[in-house]
């Protein structure tokens, strides 16, 4: 992904990746299109909110990756996402009050990310702060999309067909302002198709479905597993493997985060009719 982004630029990469994703989910729900378009109109504010958060997070990631590595971003984003969800839901009185342990774990994840970062202190600090901002936006999206789905009664595929409209428009505007001739080779098309399937369609569908069924709080609790899985997969997929120190830091941070968020009573996901 990073190679093709450097080659084609973030605007074109975003347009093609999320354009394909949106088209896929649009085709899946094509026979329901009139219905989900009308339903989306019932909560125009929610539609604008989930699109705005998606645009902000999508392009913020490119800025973050100028300052820290992809792994450090993944560690901070997914490691702090449960804390950010807890903070937002506590603020809006949707969950129990915050515990001191949440702040301690947030500090632990930040320390772990500094240890994993290979950049200078100033670059690492900027990247980590922006990654936490990105996690806050991600937490807000989980909450906003859950409320949007409840109000509109839309299916998961329908939400994802609508989610990237703003991102596609913003990326198209950036490309128009560049006034450069765009050339995409067949190999690039195939690469973007693969990235869309593996990095967007499948994981985002599963994430959105989880958010629908078990709610933002419980979905967020599973997210700290992702840095650990990325670390383990990197042993197989890259020429340079992470150090044992990195593995230990991520394992301890992930385990601590998962242990801190015990299931709460009740069921916050999709209620039976």
H or E segment and range at residue 9: none
Instruction: Calculate the dihedral angle through the C-alpha atoms of 94, 85, 198, 180, rounding to the nearest 10 degrees.
Output: 110
Q: Does the structure show a pLDDT above 60 at 43? A: yes
Tell me how far apart the terminal alpha carbons of the chain are, to the nearest angstrom.
42
pLDDT of the residue at 251: 62
- Chain segment 131-155, per-residue pLDDT in tens: 888 888 898 899 899 999 999 888 8
pTM: 0.79
DSSP 8-state code for residue 263: P
Cα(210)–Cα(98) distance, integer angstroms: 23
pLDDT of the residue at 172: 92
- Chain segment 72-84, per-residue pLDDT in tens: 788 788 877 877 8
Cα(119)–Cα(116) distance, integer angstroms: 9
């Amino acid at each position: 992904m990073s190679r093709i982004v450097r080659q084609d630029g973030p605007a074109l990469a975003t347009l093609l990746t999320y354009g394909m994703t949106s088209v896929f989910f649009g085709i899946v729900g094509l026979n329901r299109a009139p219905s989900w378009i009308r339903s989306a109109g019932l909560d125009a504010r929610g539609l604008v909110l989930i699109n705005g958060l998606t645009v902000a997070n999508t392009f913020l990631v490119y800025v973050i990756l100028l300052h820290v590595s992809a792994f450090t971003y993944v560690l901070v984003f997914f490691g702090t996402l449960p804390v950010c969800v807890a903070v937002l839901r506590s603020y809006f009185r949707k969950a129990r009050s915050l515990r001191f342990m949440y702040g301690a774990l947030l500090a632990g994840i930040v320390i772990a990310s500094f240890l994993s970062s290979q950049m200078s202190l100033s670059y690492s600090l900027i990247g980590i702060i922006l990654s936490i901002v990105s996690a806050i936006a991600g937490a807000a999206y989980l909450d906003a999309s859950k409320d949007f789905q409840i109000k509109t009664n839309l299916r998961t595929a329908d939400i994802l067909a609508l989610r990237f409209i703003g991102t596609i428009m913003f990326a198209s505007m950036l490309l128009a302002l560049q006034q450069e001739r765009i050339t995409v080779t067949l190999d690039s098309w195939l690469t973007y198709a693969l990235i869309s399937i593996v990095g967007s369609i499948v994981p985002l569908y599963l994430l959105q479905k989880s958010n629908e069924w078990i709610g933002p709080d419980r979905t967020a609790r599973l997210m700290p597993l992702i840095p650990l899985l990325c670390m383990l997969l990197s042993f197989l997929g890259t020429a340079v493997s992470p150090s044992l120190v990195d593995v230990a830091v991520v394992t301890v941070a992930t385990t601590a985060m998962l242990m801190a968020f015990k299931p709460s009573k009740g069921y916050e996901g999709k209620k039976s009719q």
